[in-house]
């Protein structure tokens, strides 16, 4: 299989970026030359030790010369980095990013595109609670979704290239609008993380004695929540702020639903409680059928 | 190692009960004779096929003849089953149960103890989302806690026997009061389950289109919540009602904490958001040190 691009630059080789590089290295089908760019020299040193890039650089201008440039930095920094890269990108090249909140990011970068350069942002729905170049692995995207959110008027050929890039990473692709994307992610990802962080907080606010006991006896339930609460704080802070509107709206629905459940428990309404629990089971079964569980 | 009891009867060989029987069978250190009792003949047939009991019976009177009788039925049925068993139990024997909510259960059964019979209730903090005799496995309790909640005035020798039973199942033991037990479990187990069921509900209430998308894109976050939401509805309904006071109080603290987080996100207060997320990470690290993660 011919490589998709002559050169591919990953700006920010963390969990996502280094997984792309590993995949590219292992399969040889993404690009002939792999470039990793980062402002932190320790990250680049690690990338060199891992042997997952041909070129490492702190210079964004060098990265911008690639046929495909992927911005894999935290969501709050994507616009800034994109605006640094775009003036140096060459006609016929494609810019993409992996930001997990879209907001006005797409239209804003699309507004400053040089002639002949395409921008096809995407969001791979995959991750772990770990971060940094050591956290990546080449199968991270397998059977996961990569959501493409091309701004209006995007070049269809560039869209096809970015779709194919994700398919070669093992992912399935879907094209969404920014707004659809953000509402869906508030529900499937941002709210669960907010709740996970908060439940740790609630445990932390208990009396010293009960708090110690909670840590001892976390067996089933609590520890499943804390797994996702171990995620990177800066990344999640940025996501929460970037998607605040959709997130706070989803949280409000959730609190209303919680109060309905609390009322049912308070009155001892067995039928109401069971029917709500049954819905959880039904959704779980659908997830298993959809290979997402 | 000499078996702890001459005979051990498990009433309700589901996930917990059949795990005890498997452990007893594999190690030979719990009892010489294993008895499984259940009202459902299909459950007993399955226990026979699995070969994890010497005697299976639908008759509680037969089970009550054992040196140690463990009630492993759902929490809502423990008092009823206990009152059926106790009149037939012999002097020197010990009754225990594995109910995950204590409430007034201990004092109520202690009030009707025949002379010479001891009652040392316990709660193993272990489980999966599966149920029934096929769901059990002999290592379920390894490195988990078994919480003992002996009623006031319990025979110290009987307490030692039940502690030793759990130690031989691989568990660590701790003695708590009923009230401590229920407040701790509301936090570590019942609240997480309530939230997991409710988030499925919130997803289910979305517009048809977004709902379908949520199921497609459940990658990280949502699916971790749904794993625990797949648990047995009747069991959880009973737990929620039995522990409603401690649970609703814990839920109230949680909703308050959620609103504090929501306010921080609304104002874009980066420091407040990050410090709350950091607490989650700290708790996660403690859990790992305590071997509960």
> Which CATH number does the domain housing residue B42 bear?
3.40.50.720
pLDDT score for B292: 59
Interface test with B, best of A126, A226, A289 (most B CBs within 10 A): A226
Determine, for residues B223 and A287 on separate chains, whether the beta-carbon distance falls below 8 Å. yes
> For residue A269, what is the domain's CATH number?
1.10.3660.10
Which of B199 and B12 is assigned the larger pLDDT? Answer: B12
User: How many domains does one find in chain A?
Assistant: 2
- Among positive and negative, which fits the CA dihedral B275, B276, B277, B280? positive
Residues B150 and B217 in one domain: no
Of A134-138, B95-99, B258-262, B278-282, the range with the lowest mean pLDDT is B278-282
Of A145, A189, A226, nearest to B221 by CB-CB distance is A189
Across B82-86, B105-109, B190-194, the highest mean pLDDT is recorded for B82-86
Residues A142 and A17 in one domain: yes
pLDDT band at B286 (very low <50, low <70, confident <90, very high): confident
Q: Which residues of B touch A190 (CB under 8 A)?
A: 221
Determine, for residues A248 and B262 on separate chains, whether the beta-carbon distance falls below 8 Å. yes
Which of B174 and A288 is assigned the larger pLDDT? Answer: B174
What is d(CA A98, CA A11) in angstroms, rounded to the nearest whole number? 11
Residue B165 has pLDDT above 90, yes or no: yes
Residues A167 and A192 in one domain: no
Residues B166 and B214 in one domain: no
Residues A21 and A162 in one domain: yes
Last residue of a domain, one of A120, A149, A176: A176
Last residue of a domain, one of A176, A196, A224: A176
A249-289 tens-digit pLDDT: 999 999 999 999 999 999 999 999 998 888 877 777 777 77
3-state secondary structure of B31: strand
What is d(CA B274, CA A232) in angstroms, rounded to the nearest whole number? 10
Residues A161 and A25 in one domain: yes
Determine, for residues B195 and A258 on separate chains, whether the beta-carbon distance falls below 8 Å. yes
CA distance B11 to chain A (A): 23
pLDDT score for B118: 97
Residues A162 and A213 in one domain: no
Domain of A126, in residue numbers = 5-176
Last residue of a domain, one of B157, B176, B195: B176
A127-164 tens-digit pLDDT: 887 889 999 999 999 988 899 999 988 999 999 999 99
Residues B74 and B9 in one domain: yes
CA distance B24 to chain A (A): 22
Residues A125 and A58 in one domain: yes
Q: Which residues of A touch B244 (CB under 8 A)?
A: 265-266, 268
Which of A148 and B288 is assigned the larger pLDDT? Answer: A148
Residue A60 has pLDDT above 60, yes or no: yes
Residues B142 and B214 in one domain: no
Determine, for residues A293 and B266 on separate chains, whether the beta-carbon distance falls below 8 Å. no
Q: Is A261 exposed, middle or buried (0-12, 13-18, 19+ CB in 10 A)?
A: buried
DSSP string of chain A?
---SEEEEEEES-SHHHHHHHHHHHHH--SEEEEEEE-S-HHHHHHHHHHT--SEEES-HHHHTTSSEEEE-S-GGGHHHHHHHHGGGPPTT-EEEE--S--TTHHHHHHTTPPTT-EE--EEE----S--SGGG--TTTTTT-EEEE-PPTT--HHHHHHHHHHHHHTT-EEEE--HHHHHHHHIIIIIHHHHHHHHHHHHHHTS-HHHHHHHHHT-TTTHHHHHHHHTS-HHHHHHHHHHTHHHHHHHHHHHHHHHHHHHHHHHHT-HHHHHHHHHHHHHHHHHHHHTT--
Across A232-241, B121-130, B250-259, the highest mean pLDDT is recorded for B250-259
Determine, for residues B230 and A196 on separate chains, whether the beta-carbon distance falls below 8 Å. no
Of B4-8, B110-114, B227-231, the range with the lowest mean pLDDT is B227-231
Interface test with B, best of A197, A250, A289 (most B CBs within 10 A): A197
Residues B164 and B272 in one domain: no
Of A147, A188, A233, nearest to B221 by CB-CB distance is A188
Determine, for residues A248 and B266 on separate chains, whether the beta-carbon distance falls below 8 Å. yes
Residues A172 and A270 in one domain: no
A81-104 tens-digit pLDDT: 999 999 999 999 999 999 989 988
Q: Which helix (H) or strand (E) holds B9?
A: strand B5-11
């Amino acid at each position: 299989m011919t490589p998709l691009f002559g050169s591919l630059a990953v700006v920010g080789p963390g969990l996502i970026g280094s997984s792309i590089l590993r995949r590219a290295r292992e399969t040889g089908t993404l690009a002939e030359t792999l470039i990793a760019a980062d402002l932190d020299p320790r990250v680049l040193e690690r990338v060199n030790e891992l042997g997952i890039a041909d070129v490492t650089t702190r210079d964004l201008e060098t990265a911008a010369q690639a046929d495909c440039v992927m911005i894999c930095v935290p969501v709050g920094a994507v616009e800034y980095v994109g605006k640094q890269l775009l003036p140096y990108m060459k006609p016929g090249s494609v810019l993409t990013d992996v930001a997990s909140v879209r907001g006005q990011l797409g239209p804003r970068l699309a507004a400053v595109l040089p002639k002949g350069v395409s921008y096809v942002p995407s969001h791979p729905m995959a991750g772990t609670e770990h971060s940094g170049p050591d956290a990546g692995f080449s199968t991270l995207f397998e059977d996961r979704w990569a959501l493409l959110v091309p701004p209006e008027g995007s070049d269809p050929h560039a869209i096809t290239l970015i779709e194919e890039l994700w398919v070669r990473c093992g992912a399935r692709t879907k094209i969404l609008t920014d707004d659809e994307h953000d509402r869906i992610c508030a529900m499937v990802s941002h709210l669960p993380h907010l709740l996970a962080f908060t439940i740790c907080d609630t445990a932390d606010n208990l009396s010293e004695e009960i708090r110690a006991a909670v840590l001892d006896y976390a067996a089933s339930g609590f520890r499943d929540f804390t797994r996702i609460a171990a995620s990177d704080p800066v990344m999640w802070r940025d996501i929460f702020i970037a998607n605040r509107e959709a997130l706070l709206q989803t949280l409000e629905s959730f609190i209303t639903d919680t109060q309905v459940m609390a009322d049912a428990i308070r009155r001892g309404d067995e039928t109401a409680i069971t029917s709500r629990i049954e819905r959880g089971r039904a959704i779980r079964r659908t997830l298993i059928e959809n290979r997402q569980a």
